[in-house]
Every structure is written in C-alpha cells, then in structure tokens.
Structure 1
Amino acid sequence: MSTTRRRGRPKGESGSRDLIVAAAEYEFGEHGYDGATVRAIAARAGVDSALVHHYFGTKADLFADVIGIPLRPDVDVPAILKGPRDEVGQRLVRYVLEAFEQPDVRRRGVTMIRVAVGSKAMSPVLVGFLARELIGRITGLLESPDAALRANLVASQIAGMIVTRYVVRLQPIADAPIDELVDRIGPTIQRYLFD
C-alpha cells in the first residue's frame, strides 16, 4: 500500500477547512497580507496547497473569509472602473453605500474597521490587503503618471464616507439618502480618478 500523499482534496478529512483557516489566521497575523503565502498556509495546516485553492480560490478569497471582509473590492472595483468612464465615481460610491446598507455587511464592515484602527497587529494586514487588492488594482487601471496618488485619494474618500456614515454616525450624513450622497461624493471620486 502506497503512503504517498495525493494532491487535491483528501477523502474523509472534514476538518481541513478549519485547519486552513486557523493556519491562515496565524500566517496573516505573523507575516501580513503580502508576506503570507498559500504554500506556507497549506504547510502550516498540513494540507496540499491545491486543497487551499479548492476551498478558497485565491489568497484574497481566503483573506476575505478569515477576517470576514464584507466586500470584495478586488473583484468588484475593476468591473466598476471598466464601465462608462463618466459615471465611475457615482457607481463606486453607490456600490459601497448599497453594500453597507445590508445589515450583515454593515455589522461586519464596522467591526473590521474598528478592529483595524485599534489593533497594531490587524492594521498592517488590512492595509496590505487594501493596498494590493484595491488601490493597486485602481492604480493599474488608470493611465496617469500620478495613478497611485489618485487611487489613494479615492480610498481615503471612500473610507472617510464609511467611517462618517456607519461608524461614528455623524448627522446628517448618517441618515442622508443614498442618491444624495452619490450625487455629492461621486463627482469628487470622478475628479480624483480622471481630472
């Protein structure tokens, strides 16, 4: 009987997913988003890296699952940026606001922001994810010599909007209709991106 471990999903290992999540929590915590690798996470969990991909797809998918990130900017934002150029700012603001109006997304998103702001360990992990998966993708899609600055300005505006509306609940922004915020903030995002 062969003792060689086969690639892919082992039969009868129902706890593998939990082992992967625990290993990922450790690796992200120790090495940050950029330093953690799927291979190292798999090794720590005692599984093949193909099993990590089977359960989670990409490292971004695994990270989103581990921290309970409520949005997938790495997937959604590039699609928004590829739409009609003169509406990108408004579509981006609407995407974030409509997502955060969902109670589960709002609860998890506010929790994530509070933890990231208050935790020396968590802050660099979240910043690494956002820098690579959101800001980096926006930068890569913009054809401008100052694309990185533009992408960071967009991120700062969106983060400020989320904190003001959902974390500190500053009035009247906290209760303003989505359409009004889209109309007022969207042009600023548009200017940061393209003007």
Structure 2
Amino acid sequence: MAEERGRRPGNPQTRESILEAAIESFVTEGYGGTTIRAVARTAGVDPALVMHFFGSKDKLFEAAINGTMPVALLVEAIDGDEEHLGERLVRRYLGLWEDPVHGPKLAAVVRSAAATPATAELLKELMTRELLGPVARSLSHDHAHIRGLLAASQLLGLAAMRYLLKIEPLASLPADLVVAAVAPGIQRYLTGTLSLAEATVVPR
C-alpha cells in the first residue's frame, strides 16, 4: 500500500516526532483527552505508525513520561554529602517545577496520575525505579527505602499545594524561603532518627 503523500516514513526521527507530539498532547489535553489519531495528525504520520512504534496509548504515555519527567536532573542532586542532601533535593525540585519547560510537563503528569489509575501505576513504577531506588542506595541509614518514600511524600504534597492548587501564601513565597522551611524536615526523614524500630519493614 502506497504511503500517503506528506506522511513520514518509519525511522528513528519519525519516532521522536511522534513522541514530541504525544508529550505536547498529554501536557495540554491530559491523558483522557489524548488520542492516537490526534497524535498522529500532529506528527504528520499515519495512526498505524504510532501503533507500530509504541503499541498502545498506555505505552505511548509511558514513553512520554520517560521523555517528560526530569528524573535524571533530580537524581543529580544526590551527589554530595548526606548532611545537606535534603536542601539539595528541595532546591532542585523547586527549580524543576518553576522551570518554564519542565514545570508544565510535571504538572500534566501529576494531574494525569491523579485522574487515571493506569497512569498512576506507570508513574509509580518510573519513580520507584529511577528516583527512589537511587536515593535509597545513597543513604547510609536504616530503612532507606521508607526514608525515601517519606521524603517523596512531602515533596509531592509541597508541589500540589504550591504549583497545582496554588494555595496562598505558599504559592507566592520566594523559593529560598520554601527551601529553608522544608529542607530540615526532608533531611530528618533521610538521615534523622525515625520511630521504625518496632515496625516490620519489607523493602521493595
């Protein structure tokens, strides 16, 4: 069957074009509002080619998450002494949310995860593998996985209040003040004394 005029052939560059179109759609339309046909139309390819590269909408979203979430940039903040790990993580985390490129993408992924169980599962797997794992391995204290989860729960709540719900005055506080207020709590979760001695903790 002859290829439609103007349609791009199936090559790595085409895959990247499809992925860029998908990321744009997921950011602006959300998971529910994104369709394979719309992504294909934006990328200038046949919908069958989207399925050829990604297999399903879920797989396309998984690839978009991996291409959208700046996890590697957050993981870079792990490097350094444990004593100031909390401050480095909070400062980098806020910087990513306030970045004009990364911020809207982060918001889109979190909103999609809150609305769609399948999306939440994909995000959980990515964060566990790519972020919580490296954080836990960097810690020299007991219950490292639980410590990472507690810190992540605080950071996610902070993002929801400051960037998604935009609750004042938190939404307008200078980032440096937020870092100064939040970092000590994150640091305690990561390296301080936790009351988990009697708990049975099964690490993932």
TM-score of the alignment, normalized to the shorter chain, above 0.5: yes
2:136 touches 2:148 (CA, 8 Å); kept in 1? Answer: yes
Alignment of 1:150 with 2:147, yes or no, is yes
Offset from partner CA, 1:25-44 (integer Å, 9 cap, x none): 546826x96xxxxxxxxxxx
Structure 1 residues 108, 16: closer, same or farther in 2, change over 3 A?
Answer: closer
1:28 touches 1:125 (CA, 8 Å); kept in 2? Answer: no
Offset from partner CA, 1:91-113 (integer Å, 9 cap, x none): 11110111211223221111111
Offset from partner CA, 1:89-144 (integer Å, 9 cap, x none): 11111101112112232211111111110012211001110111111111111123
Residue aligned with 1:103, SS: coil
Paired residue for 1:55? none
Q: Distance in 1 between matches of 2:90 and 2:82?
A: 14
Amino acid at match of 1:129: L
Paired residue for 1:184? 181
2:132 touches 2:145 (CA, 8 Å); kept in 1? Answer: yes
Structure 1 residues 179, 119: closer, same or farther in 2, change over 3 A?
Answer: same
Paired residue for 2:109? 112
Alignment of 1:29 with 2:73, yes or no, is no
Cα deviation, residue 18, structure 1: 5.0
Cα deviation, residue 88, structure 1: 1.2
2:87 touches 2:187 (CA, 8 Å); kept in 1? Answer: yes
Alignment of 1:64 with 2:61, yes or no, is no
Gaps of 5+ in 2: 1-9, 23-49, 193-204
Structure 1 residues 16, 104: closer, same or farther in 2, change over 3 A?
Answer: closer
RMSD of aligned C-alpha atoms? 2.9
Alignment of 1:161 with 2:158, yes or no, is yes
Q: Distance in 2 between matches of 1:28 and 1:134?
A: 24
2:82 touches 2:139 (CA, 8 Å); kept in 1? Answer: no
Q: Distance in 1 between matches of 2:65 and 2:104?
A: 18
Q: Distance in 2 between matches of 1:145 and 1:155?
A: 17
Paired residue for 1:53? none
1:139 touches 1:147 (CA, 8 Å); kept in 2? Answer: yes
2:113 touches 2:120 (CA, 8 Å); kept in 1? Answer: yes
Q: Distance in 1 between matches of 2:130 and 2:84?
A: 22
Cα deviation, residue 170, structure 1: 1.1
Cα deviation, residue 77, structure 1: 3.8
- From 160, 170, 174, the counterpart of 2:171: 174
Gaps of 5+ in 1: 1-11, 34-60
